[in-house]
Amino acid sequence: MAERPPKPTGAELNILHVLWAHGPQSVRDVQHELNRTKATGYTSVLKTMQIMLEKGLVDRDDSVRPQVYRARVSQERTQKQFLSEVVNQVYGGSFSALVMHAAGNHKLTPDDVAAIETLLDQLKKGRK
């Protein structure tokens, strides 16, 4: 079984969000996107992406110039990794406690409630 890549740091996660949203990008393209919300230096982005390459979080296409990076880990897998950690470490393994806390602390829209009800119905049908 393939080894699971390490959990990304906050800066690495910001870069992954750019790659997930826009597909393969050069360092300059990633830096440009990150600068939309927070000033980020080119060399900082470059160094972080080089570290991410070593960790197995991204792949780099060296056959083109400028080099292009793509996410090697999926957004869904990364979200599951973070969620599992939160459920286990913060909520003592209780998924229902997490859901109750999240729903109780945020104003749910009618669309949110409908989506949750649909998910619950699907889960109930899957267990019968």
Q: How many residues does the chain have?
A: 128
Task: Kindly give the interhelix angle for 95-105 and 75-90, rounded to the nearest 10 degrees.
Answer: 100
* pLDDT tens readout for residues 13-47: 999 999 999 999 999 999 999 999 999 999 999 99
Q: How confident is the model at residue 1 (pLDDT cuts 50, 70, 90)?
A: very low
Query: H-helix or E-strand containing 92?
Result: none
Any idea which architecture 10-71 has in CATH? Answer: Orthogonal Bundle (1.10)
* Strands in 1-128 per DSSP E: 58-61, 68-71
For 63-89, write each residue's pLDDT tens digit.
999 999 999 999 999 998 888 888 889
Alpha carbons within 13 angstroms on the beta-carbon side of residue 104 total 6
Structure tokens at 78: 């990364």
Three-state DSSP string of 83-115: HHHHHHHHCCCCHHHHHHHHHHHCCCCHHHHHH
Q: Where are the domains of the chain?
A: 10-71, 75-127
Bridge partners of 61, per DSSP, are 68
Q: What's the CA gap between 24 and 61, in Å, rounded?
A: 9
